Amino acid sequence: MTTATTTEGSGRGKAGQAGLSTAEERAAARAPEMELIRQAQAGSRGAFDALVRQYEHQVLRLALHLTGSEHDAEDIYQEAFLKAFRYIGNFRFECSFYTWIYRIVTNLCLDQLRRKKTRREDRSVVLDSSGDEIDVLASVSDERSYSNPARELDRKVLGARIQAALGKLTPRERMVFELKHYQGLRLRTIGEMLSTTEETAKNTLFRATKKLRTQLAELRS
Amino acid sequence: MNCELAHERIVTAAYGELPDEQLHELDRHIRNCAECGTERAQLLALKVLAEANPVMEPDANLVARSRQRLEEALDALPPKRWYEWLSQRMVNNFASLQAAPIGACLLLIVGAGAGVLGGYEVTQSRAARAAGQAQQTIVKPTAGLQGAEVSNISSISRLPNSEMVEVTYNQVVPQRLQGSLDDPVIRQLLMMASQNSESASVRDDSVGLLVAECRAGHSCQAAGIRDALMVRLRYDQDEGVRAKALEGLQPYVAEDVRVRNAVLEALMNDGDPRIRTSAISVLEPVEADTSVRQVLHTVANSDENPHIRTVSRQVLSRVPQFQ
């Protein structure tokens, strides 16, 4: 699922948030989830499994796009939900369960990004016909069909360049850009997930876009 | 708006996070600033480029694999012990309390305030009840004391830094009782009247009634009327009361030495000559008695009143020397 929004002011949401207009409707929609959470806190395995099924796609989507690896995404999924199971008793309904679980996932992803930055691994590099190195993104399946192989390669080269530019960001900048641009979350929510303020998240996004524009300047031209 | 601020707002606007009024302001700035216009175009181009790295939906196999692995891991976890549940609950309760410090403080303040107010109200009502039982009323000076006599004043105190004075006093409340002279309560009141009344007429009336009772043959001994008459004869200031008391004692002068002595004292010491003269008459049944003759001799020789001296000599000449 892509996020093809190019016009200003429409960089909004795709990933898993219901478009409810009023606070009461949101609260009403969350009521069954709160009941599930309470049951899970009481020890109900079935209730916890229901919560996992509600959020597993979002978690995998985020982890997959950040890490670029199904194996890493699976590890992050496992670790995130095990943590959630272990600490669900500490959940005090001060925020939504969505924000809480995403907070766990983003922290795990940040840890993964920091480890990657240190190790500089998980980049499968191939050479194209002209000898340039590219990231093939072999673990990411692409369901779109292209009749033009050259175009397909160009797309993959571009994707690799984008991935490389994103890799130059700090883990925090990468996370904020990921959550804002690719996951469509609001800056306030991003601030909650990263245990910071909306203003800080905004400044981080600004720095990230500035760096990316610098990195991708030759591509734009 | 400067360009540095505009660059930040361009990013915010590109992702739909800029408020409308700031968006309008930004548009106005960009219309007049080519550099910021270029900045915005570059950001929009970046957004397009970033789509070359699309977000893919996870593969169904990936989801299934991940879910199964998670279930195996959850199944392998040991069940929570009872102390783990208990510690979890305690931590949650403490955390809830921590999370509502203002509420807890408010609850404490409200509870303490209610306790203090309640205690104050209870104390006040008890004090009011006690004051009511004591039946002390604060009478305004202008109202005056009506309906009851003040029997005595127990304390006087001035309130600090004021012109107010507090006087504590006891009041006598008048009562009225009707009854027979044989009624013990009436007799008791007559006895009290004969001893304590400040009014001579009241004493006179009470003594007269008591004497009439004795003369009528009603029992005088048990009620102590005889003693009361002797006291009145000896000490009363009013001669009318003494005269009635002397009249009331006459039936007992022969049988009661104490009565005879009281009459002899009156004969020798009473200031009223009529009472001294009456005393000589009262002593007629015992005029032959030695003590009586001695007093008669003294009175016959030394009494200031010539009539009393004469009467005393007449009595002495009438009675033989020894009886």
Run of H or E including A24: helix A23-41
Q: Which residue has the higher pLDDT, B133 or A1?
A: B133
Query: In this predicted structure, what is the pLDDT of residue B153?
Result: 83
A49 and B CB contact within 8 Å: yes
| Contact: B73, A5; criterion CB under 8 Å | no
Among A1, A181, A205, select the one facing B50 at the smallest CB separation: A181
Residue ranges and CATH numbers for the domains of chain A are 21-122 (1.10.1740.10)
* Residue numbers in B near A182 (CB within 8 A): 50, 53, 55
ipTM over 0.85: no
CA pair distance B185, B204, nearest whole angstrom: 19
Q: How far is B51 from chain A (nearest CA, A)?
A: 7
Q: Lowest mean pLDDT of A175-179, B31-35, B62-66, B100-104, name the range.
A: B100-104
Query: In this predicted structure, what is the pLDDT of residue B126?
Result: 81
| Contact: B8, A206; criterion CB under 8 Å | yes
Query: In this predicted structure, what is the pLDDT of residue B135?
Result: 52
* Tens digit of each residue's pLDDT (9 = 90 or more) over B74-110: 988 887 777 776 777 676 666 666 656 777 788 888 8
- Mean pLDDT, residues B135-163 taken together: 69
Give the dihedral of Cα atoms B58, B64, B67, B73; nearest 10 deg: -130
CA pair distance B8, A207, nearest whole angstrom: 9
Max Cα separation, chain A? 61
Strand partners of residue B165:
B158
A74 and B CB contact within 8 Å: yes
Q: Report which of A120, A124, A121 is spatially closest to residue A140, judged by C-alpha positions.
A: A124
* Cβ atoms B205, B168 nearer than 8 A: no
Strands (E), B9-164: 149-158
> Does residue B121 carry a pLDDT above 90?
no
Among A60, A78, A180, select the one facing B69 at the smallest CB separation: A78
Q: Which residue has the higher pLDDT, B306 or B183?
A: B306
Q: What pTM does this model have?
A: 0.49
Burial of residue A70, with CB atoms counted within 10 A of its CB: 0-12 exposed, 13-18 middle, 19 or more buried: buried
Per-block mean pLDDT, blocks of 10 residues, chain A (221 long): 39 44 59 86 90 93 90 93 91 86 92 77 47 46 53 76 88 93 92 91 94 77 54
DSSP string for B163-226: S-EEEEEEEEPP------TT-HHHHHHHHHHHHH-S-HHHHHHHHHHHHHHHHTT---TTTTHH
CA pair distance A53, B79, nearest whole angstrom: 22
Q: How far is B112 from chain A (nearest CA, A)?
A: 29
**Interface A-B: count of C-beta contacts within 8 A:** 148
Domain ranges of chain B: 3-47, 184-318
| Contact: A60, B58; criterion CB under 8 Å | yes
Neighbours of A133 (CB within 10 A): 12
| Contact: A9, B50; criterion CB under 8 Å | no
Q: How far is B66 from chain A (nearest CA, A)?
A: 6
Query: In this predicted structure, what is the pLDDT of residue A172?
Result: 92
The residue in chain A having the minimum alpha-carbon distance to the alpha carbon of residue B70 is A78
Residue B252: what residue type? Answer: Y
The residue in chain B having the minimum alpha-carbon distance to the alpha carbon of residue A93 is B96
Q: What is the mean pLDDT of chain B?
A: 83
Query: In this predicted structure, what is the pLDDT of residue A27?
Result: 60
Query: In this predicted structure, what is the pLDDT of residue A138?
Result: 44
What part of A 126-155 touches B (C-beta under 8 Å)?
140-143, 155
The DSSP 8-state label assigned to residue A12 in this structure reads -
**Rounded to 5 degrees, what are φ and ψ at B283?**
-85, 0
What fold does the segment set B184-318 form as a domain? Answer: Leucine-rich Repeat Variant (1.25.10)
> Does residue B219 carry a pLDDT above 80?
no
Vertex B6, ends B4 and B7: CA angle to 5°?
65
A119 and B CB contact within 8 Å: no
